[in-house]
Structure 1
Amino acid sequence: MSSAPILIDAAWAPGGHRRLARGALLAVAGSLLIAVCAHIKVPMWPVPITMQTFAVLLIGFVYGSRLGAATVALYLAEGAVGLPVFAGGGGIAHFAGPTGGYLAGFLVAAALTGWLAENNWSRSIPLTLLGMLLGSAVITLFGFAWLAALLGAEKAFLVGVAPFLVGDAVKASLAAVLLPMAWKGLPRIL
């Protein structure tokens, strides 16, 4: 069973021997987008509200499961080696601190939203909204589980889940409008 076309392939068709270079360029550009969005934030403790999750999920939807996950993996590697790509800077310590679970969830969520895109979930408002909410739930569950191990379940919910629910809904709604609009702006593909 072949998957449905994804947005990036419709916008920029992969070309034979240039496919690897195209993928590398897209992964670097996507990791830079996530890094920029990580610094668009509303300060909170222990985890700030950022546009980072929006970028992670959007990249999954636009790039598909494999390139989306590879892009997030590149972003995480950039942060692990100390580049200031995370909301709180860079370094391996971020994976052991309060944001560690969220960072791990990014990879799974990008793969999930990419898979959903490969199954035509990025072309309609209701499916895109549901897909973004599912991706957000994955990130939240990973973050909650990690925070619960560090802080206890009740405190983890109060500081690591509840404050982000409205923001996640707003980001999901934004993507639910943008992605179907992007598809409509492209020439018809089979």
Structure 2
Amino acid sequence: MSDTAITHPTLAGALWPATRGNRLLRAALLAVLGSALLAISARVQVPFWPVPMTLQTGVVLLLGAALGGRLAVATVLLYLAEGALGLPVFAGGGGPAYLAGPTGGYLAGFLVAAAAVGSLVERGWSRSLASSALAMILGDVLIFACGLAWLSSLIGLDKAIAAGLLPFLAGEALKIALAAALLPAAWKLLARR
């Protein structure tokens, strides 16, 4: 076994193990449920300062953590495909133009973050609060790095930071804290079961 091999199950794997007979159906159902959860999280706006907060980035991080890298990426790809086809799954609607708009980089960052967080969790980064927090922080940084790179190509770096990062820092810190705390707590509950 190589040192990059997956050695820890994901929450989804612990709750619903994949077998030869259910692997494809399990993956499809989890991806559909995950993309629906992402669509709902894009529409939920929580009053927050200085801007209202959606739950989208937190759900992306939790999907990576619960599903693992490959299945989380498949789930986010399904979500993006639904939006590209015009389904109103994004915070502001849907359609191909939405993917090329100011938030397109953040949406692409969802893929990168889901892969990274999922990969880290598959290597045991969900068992403690510290490792969960580090995985979530890294995932969030990747979302915002992709988002800001794209947004800055449209409006310049200074404006991108002012409009696409700074107003969201407090909300992201809260979502990271919640997501990081949920993982080890879920594992403890599962261990008691």
Q: CA RMSD in A?
A: 1.8
**4+ residue runs of structure 1 moved beyond 6 angstroms?**
none
TM-score of the aligned structures, taking structure 2 as reference length: 0.92
Change (3 A) 1:42 1:150: farther
Change (3 A) 1:90 1:11: same
2:84 maps to which residue?
Answer: 80
2:186 maps to which residue?
Answer: 182
1:145 maps to which residue?
Answer: 149
Letter in 2 for 1:185: L
- Contact 1:79–1:90 at 8 Å: present in 2 too? yes
Indicate whether 1:24 and 2:28 are aligned: yes
Q: How many residue pairs align between the two structures?
A: 187
Indicate whether 1:164 and 2:172 are aligned: no
- 5+ residue gaps, structure 1: none
TM-score of the aligned structures, taking structure 1 as reference length: 0.94
Of stretches 148-157 and 12-21 in structure 1, the one that deviates more from structure 2 is: 12-21
- 5+ residue gaps, structure 2: none
Q: Deviation digits for residues 78-129 of structure 1, max 9, x if unmatched?
A: 0000111000011111111110100110001000000011011111111111
- Contact 1:99–1:143 at 8 Å: present in 2 too? yes
Q: Deviation digits for residues 5-64 of structure 1, max 9, x if unmatched?
A: 1111111111222110000000000000000000112589xx963101111110001000
1:7 maps to which residue?
Answer: 11
Indicate whether 1:66 and 2:70 are aligned: yes
2:130 maps to which residue?
Answer: 126
Correspondence for 1:108 among 105, 112, 117: 112
Letter in 2 for 1:105: G
Distance 1:106 1:8 in 2: 19
Change (3 A) 1:155 1:48: farther
Spell out the pairing of 1:83-98 with structure 2 (5 A cutoff).
Answer: 83-98=87-102
How far off its partner does 1:149 sit?
0.6
- Contact 1:48–1:87 at 8 Å: present in 2 too? no
